[in-house]
Amino acid sequence: MPPISVSLLLTSNDAGRPLGDIAAERLGDAGQQAAVRGGLWMGRRRVAPDTLAVTGETLTVRLPPAGGYCDAPVTLAHIIYEDDDVLVINKPPACYVGDTPWDAQGSVLAVLTRLLAARDGQAPTLHLAHQLDFGTSGILVLSKHPRANAPLHTAFNRGQAQKRYLAVCTGYMPAETELVTGHGRAAGGRWRLYDQSEIGRVLPDGQRVKRAHTRFMLRRQFAQAALVWAIPLTGRTHQIRLHLAALGCPILGDERYGGPTMVAGLHLAHSLLHAAELSLPHPRDGRPLHLFCPPPPVFQRVIGQL
């Protein structure tokens, strides 16, 4: 189920009172938790619970989807590389890397900040160098020092970061194949693919259709599923997921794009997509970093069933 958004009109009786108190008073425990977790908004701005109310304004309280709040299951054992500039972890599946509209406390970024503060005695200034989807596991790079931010973003935005993903998808895959399409949002706001001829076209929201390019290599074929390497040569949102669905081979567990969530009696709560390998220049001196991490246990369980 999607998250819930509740709008509260602030009256003269609310003027000067903390917004967190108002949310708790009107919505009970749900409002109190939303205040603590960072779910209070004025317009497009997240606000602290001690912000004072102004008559006539609207307080938006964003509540979590079914299942409630959940902290990313990250520990210090998930760190696979660290120095003064860079932190790299093997992200678990089924967690958000950054803040969501309803929660600023449970993301990978927030949990890692607390873990490192407890370990080192002071909170680090962490920034995400790139993104991984909620369901995607694997290599996630963060900067630990502001001087690393620009070089890391340049590496990811200009194709200097070479990535390879493992995916378990449905159907039959050729030994090698590539797909080049357009990529952008549909009228409803969801990501979709466009024909190559539409690359560069301006969409109704003002954005242009961008080029999306992925190379696939078969690693193992099963009866009705396949384990594949996916190498994104561009970095569009949901690119690998969309391209495999377009090939008629959606990723197992990827319900949004047509992947089955039940496989041989196993229920999959997320897509089986894993960022397994990454090479990029170090942001300080440019030396190459070659990073590897194994997929989570659910991959082996599913492959064992297949």
Decide if 144 contacts 84 (C-beta within 8 A): yes
Tokens of 209: 């259709």
Spatial separation of the C-alpha atoms in residues 230 and 243, rounded to whole Å: 10
For 187-221, the three-class secondary structure string (H helix, E strand, C coil) is CCCCEEEECHHHCCCECCCCCECEEEEEEEEEEEE
Question: String of b and e for 21-56 (b: at least 16 CB within 10 Å)?
Answer: bbbbeebeebbbbbbbbbbbbbeeeebebebebeee
| CA-based torsion, 241, 189, 105, 256: positive or negative | negative
For the question of residue 133 being annotated catalytic, the response is: yes
Catalytic position from the list 14, 103, 133, 254: 133
Residue with token string 């696939």:
216
DSSP 8-state symbol, 258: T
- Which residues have CB under 8 Å from 29's CB, separation 6+? none
Spatial separation of the C-alpha atoms in residues 236 and 247, rounded to whole Å: 17
| CA-based torsion, 82, 101, 251, 179: positive or negative | negative
Active site residues: 133
